Amino acid sequence: MCSSNAELYYDRGNHHEFVHQVAIVATPGTIQGSQEYEFDFNQSKPYETYNGVNVRCRYFVRATISRNYSSNITHEQDFWVQNIQKVRRAF
C-alpha cells in the first residue's frame, strides 16, 4: 500500500490522508527465504514531503504479511517526494 497523510502536531490523533493506493503483489502461499516483489505506484504525488514546526506531510509504503496462525507482520517505510519544475526565464 502506498499512502500519504498530513499530520498536524497539535492534533496528532487525526491524520488527513490525500493519496491512497493498494497493490497486491503476491498470491497467498508460503514464503521460504528471501523474496523480492516488483511494484509500481504510478500515481501523482501532489505535495512534497515536509517536516515543519506545526505539520508533517509524509509518504510511505506499508507492507503487510497476513498470517492465520499468529498476528500479521506490518512494516512501513517512508520515502521523500520532491516535485521538480523547470525554471521559466523571462525574456
Distances (CA, A) of 81 to 50, 52, 57, 85, 89: 9, 15, 10, 13, 25
Residue 84 in any domain: the answer is no
Range of the domain at 47: 2-27+41-79
User: Grid coordinates representing 79?
Assistant: 520515502
Mean pLDDT by 10 residues, the chain (91 residues): 75 75 79 80 78 84 84 88 75 64
pTM of the predicted model, to two decimals? 0.69
Find out whether 81 and 47 touch, Cβ atoms under 8 Å: yes
Q: How many domains does the chain have?
A: 1
Q: Which among 54, 47, 53, 52 has a CA at the least distance from the CA of 17?
A: 47
- What pairs with residue 59 in β-bridges? 4, 79
Residues 88 and 53 sit within 8 Å (Cβ to Cβ)? no
Assign residue 63 the CATH number of its domain: 2.60.40.640
